Each structure stands twice: as structure tokens, then as C-alpha cells.
Structure 1
């Protein structure tokens, strides 16, 4: 599996219902110094994400236009469009997403994530 496929799989994992309900799995995927600028405008640190994400209602999301750009030997910027389709078309949301992943040993961990809403 190449680098782009590996990171896309990790991003998909963080969007999956199984991972989002499992605080230990979330904790393994995000770094201690993680920070997120959410599509809602909120700022999140690792402790908040690990505590609150499993409590949130699950929403199925899909990814398109995925790209991985190495920033250094051990850090990669990924960008993509995130789609949250809804039966009620007016409730659908879409956002531009970016994450920075860092390789520690043999494992990748997310150190930064940002979601920017796309206006309807």
C-alpha cells in the first residue's frame, strides 16, 4: 500500500462508526499535541476529542478528491472533500478537510485537522 492509500485508510477509519465510538482507537490515531479547527468554528484538543467524539451521534460521511502531499520525511498534508449526504437534501453538508499526519516509528498519528464548510 502506498503512502496516499495508507493515509486515506486512516482518514476513513476516523470517519467510521466503529472508531468514532471507541475512545482507545481515537487516542491511538491522534497525537498528544493534536489540535483541530472544526467546521463549526470550535477548537479541539486531543483530550476533548477522545472524551466527546464517542458520545456524538454518528453521521455517515464520504471522502472525495483525496490528496497527500509530503511536507517532510515524516509529515504529510492530506486534503479532501468530506460529504455528509442527508435524505433531506437541504440538510446535507459538505466541507473541505485538511489533516497533517506525522510518522512516529512505524505508526502514523494525526497532529492537526481542519474542516471548512462549503456553502450550499
Structure 2
């Protein structure tokens, strides 16, 4: 069985994407409009990573991650290879998945923290699941290419 915390961190359906906003915290040399453009690009990349995982497009999915990518779960730090393998599990399927409330927070000129809310349900190895998490991904611009270096999901409080 897959590690659900890793897998759910990387899955969504592109058709269910909701509007989002960019909250530039630290201007780059190009000013706030440059941060808005970069933020829009990074949110699109984050959304694409989920869609690629749902489609089990391992090559394109892995291309978004830095060589030192890792995930933090309730069981500890999970490296790039096991995290990506979990997201590609063919025995997990989503009936519904949505991402909402995107924020982009520039913590340095070439480093942005993407935050959002994930709600999903489906089947994992024949067992029903539901997810309601707040998520964050850290993206860094290395040698002119933005790559995801870190992901963490935190369960939302029960209503």
C-alpha cells in the first residue's frame, strides 16, 4: 500500500482547479509585477505536478523536482525516490480532488513557498479515502530553472 501522506501531496484533477492569488512578500529586482508573473508560473507548475501524478506521467512529474527534493510526513523525512514512487502508485485513484486558496510567499529572491488547501477522495488499493489538508511546497530557482525542493501536508482541523 502506498504512503497516503506522500501520494496525496502530489495529486489533483486539472479540471477542478480554482482561482488563486499571488501574495508577493519580497519584491525581486523586477518589482512586484515580476513576482506576480513568477508566482503565477509556480502555481501552474504546482497544479501540473498533481495532474501529472494522477495521470501517472512519471517522467514529466519527476522533471519538476530538484535532485534533492524531499517530503516531510507524519512518519518523518522521505527522500525523492520513495516520494515519487508513492505518487505513481497505479492502485490509487481519485473520484474528486480540488486545490484552493493558493498563496505565493517569496522568502528570498529565488525562493518561493506555495501554500494551498487540498480536498480529495477516491480509492487506494480498493479502500475509500478522504483528504482535507493544508499543503506547502518550496520552489527554488536554480541556474534559471524553478524546481520543487520540498513538500509538506498538514491535516486540516475537523469541523
**Same fold, TM exceeding 0.5?**
yes
Q: Structure 1 residue 41: deviation in Å?
A: 4.0
Q: Which runs of 5+ in 1 are unaligned?
A: none
Q: Which runs of 5+ in 2 are unaligned?
A: 1-35, 123-128
TM-score by structure 1 length? 0.81
Q: Which residue number in structure 1 is paired with residue 136 of structure 2?
A: 98
| CA distance in 1 between partners of 2:98 and 2:85 (Å) | 24
SS at match of 2:45: helix
2:152 is equivalent to residue 117 of structure 1: no
The structure whose RCO (Cα within 8 Å, separation 6+) is larger is 2
Indicate the structure (1 or 2) with the bigger Cα radius of gyration.
2
Q: Structure 1 residue 85: deviation in Å?
A: 4.8
Counterpart contact for 1:15–1:61, Cα < 8 Å? no
Q: Structure 1 residue 42: deviation in Å?
A: 5.2
Quote the RMSD (CA, aligned, Å): 2.2
SS at match of 1:48: helix
Q: Which residue number in structure 2 is paired with residue 77 of structure 1?
A: 113
Q: Structure 1 residue 30: deviation in Å?
A: 0.9
